[in-house]
């Protein structure tokens, strides 16, 4: 059993990591660090784990754990790592955006590998430092990467994606509290969302010219999940497009192509990404769906951990969706 540390365990991503790791066959939680809840039971922040663990949050860090997950706000991972030193053998998986871009990948002489298993599996296996992808970035990249590799993404791409309120983090804000979000919908950060940088770098890594991306993020009146739609000009047939996607994801454990239109309930509470293709008058529509807290954050982080330690990729991630 490997020993795991979690930094920032009282938020949504930290809570999901705790739930997964409590049932992981080859990992055990050594400590959950929190500056705001040190000494309090983990169940005080995550009541659903009452009876599953007697662990308490701590203000102390064990620098000799086998792996540590950083579940801190964007920009805070660099500060934390400058103030805390871990053993040279400790692997680090960061869930913020601090190390995702190529210009930020090297920090304190350590190189962070971009942790999208569908494209970087071998690099992840051989790395001790992982930058976990963003939630929107995961859903959109998985929808577009097969076309980029095939050289079929040279025209403009229009993307519309809606996310649940948990995507904004646990601290309430004017656009996340229930009375505003309920029975409501709105867009935000039109064409300027921070995940566009990592999406573009991944698409461009195949060496083909990628058309301009126009991304419009939306707030949904539900708690979790991302449904993304992207469309672009495409000269091939629908069957040819399906063949491109099925070949690209032939060895992907958690990403699947659906013959039927997809919806969020298929993937919420799982580490799955489901993709559907539709063609209309020379336009290819790609729809992808993920759980923003699992495949878009903590589930993918554990998937990366499994790869780094040579475990079965699905360990701890055999999760069940709710159909009804």
Q: Answer for the pair 292, 219: CB distance below 8 angstroms, yes or no.
A: no
Instruction: Give 71-124 pLDDT, tens digit per residue.
Output: 998 889 999 999 999 999 999 999 999 999 999 999 999 999 999 999 999 999
Asked if residue 176 has pLDDT above 90, the reply is no
Side-chain-side CA neighbours of 42 within 13 Å: the count stands at 28
Whether 135-290 and 2-132+297-309 are alike in CATH topology: the answer is: no
DSSP 132: P
Q: Which two tokens stand for residue 274?
A: 């489901």
CATH architecture of 2-132+297-309: 3-Layer(aba) Sandwich (3.40)
Please tell me which residue in 20, 65, 135, 139 is annotated as part of the active site: 135
155-167: average pLDDT: 95
Buried b (16+ CB within 10 A) or exposed e, 2-27: bbbbbbbbbbbbbbbbbbbbbebeeb
Asked if residue 29 has pLDDT above 80, the reply is yes
pLDDT at 133: 97
Mean pLDDT of the chain: 95
- What's the rounded Cα separation, in Å, for the pair 274 and 55? 35
Instruction: Give 190-237 pLDDT, tens digit per residue.
Output: 999 999 999 999 999 987 778 999 999 999 999 999 999 999 999 999
End-to-end CA distance of the chain: 36
Residue 144's H or E segment, with its range, is: helix 135-149
Determine whether 285 is exposed, middle or buried from the number of CB atoms within 10 Å of its CB (0-12, 13-18, 19+). middle
- What's the rounded Cα separation, in Å, for the pair 315 and 306? 7
Which residue ranges make up each domain of the chain? 2-132+297-309, 135-290
pLDDT at 167: 86
pLDDT band of 175, cuts 50, 70, 90? confident
Q: Does the annotation count 135 as an active-site position?
A: yes
Choosing among 3.10.310.30, 3.30.360.10, 3.50.50.60, 3.10.620.30, the CATH entry for 135-290 is 3.30.360.10
pLDDT at 189: 94
44: left (phi over 0), alpha (psi -120 to 50) or beta: alpha
Q: Hey, what's the torsion of the CAs at 2, 25, 289, 114, to 10 degrees?
A: 20
Asked if residue 178 has pLDDT above 90, the reply is no
Place of tokens 């090297």: 106
């Amino acid at each position: 059993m490997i020993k795991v540390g979690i930094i920032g365990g009282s938020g949504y991503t930290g809570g999901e990591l705790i739930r997964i790791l409590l049932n992981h066959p080859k990992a055990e939680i050594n400590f959950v660090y929190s500056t705001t809840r040190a000494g309090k039971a983990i169940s005080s922040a995550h009541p659903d784990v009452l009876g599953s663990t007697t662990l308490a949050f701590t203000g102390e860090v064990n620098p000799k754990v086998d792996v540590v997950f950083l579940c801190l706000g964007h920009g805070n991972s660099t500060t934390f790592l400058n103030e805390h030193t871990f053993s040279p053998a400790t692997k680090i998986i960061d869930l913020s955006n601090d190390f995702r871009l190529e210009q930020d990948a090297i920090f304190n002489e350590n190189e962070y590998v971009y942790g999208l298993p569908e494209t970087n599996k071998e690099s992840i296996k051989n790395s001790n430092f992982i930058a976990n992808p963003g939630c929107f970035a995961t859903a959109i990249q998985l929808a577009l990467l097969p076309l980029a590799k095939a050289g079929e993404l040279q025209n403009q791409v229009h993307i519309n994606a809606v996310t649940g309120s948990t995507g904004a983090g646990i601290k309430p804000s004017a656009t996340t509290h229930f009375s505003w979000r309920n029975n409501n919908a709105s867009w935000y950060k039109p064409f300027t969302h921070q995940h566009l940088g990592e999406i573009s770098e991944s698409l461009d890594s195949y060496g083909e010219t990628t058309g301009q991306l126009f991304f419009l993020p939306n707030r949904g009146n539900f708690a979790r999940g991302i449904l993304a739609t992207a469309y672009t000009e495409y000269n091939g047939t629908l069957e040819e497009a399906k063949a491109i996607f099925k070949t690209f994801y032939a060895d992907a454990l958690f990403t699947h192509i659906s013959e039927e239109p997809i919806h969020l309930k298929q993937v919420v509470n799982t580490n799955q990404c489901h993709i559907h293709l539709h063609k209309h008058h020379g336009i290819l529509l790609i729809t992808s769906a993920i759980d923003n807290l699992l495949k878009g954050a903590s589930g993918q982080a554990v998937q990366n951990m499994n790869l780094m330690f040579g475990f079965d990729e699905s360990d701890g991630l055999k999760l069940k969706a709710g159909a009804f």
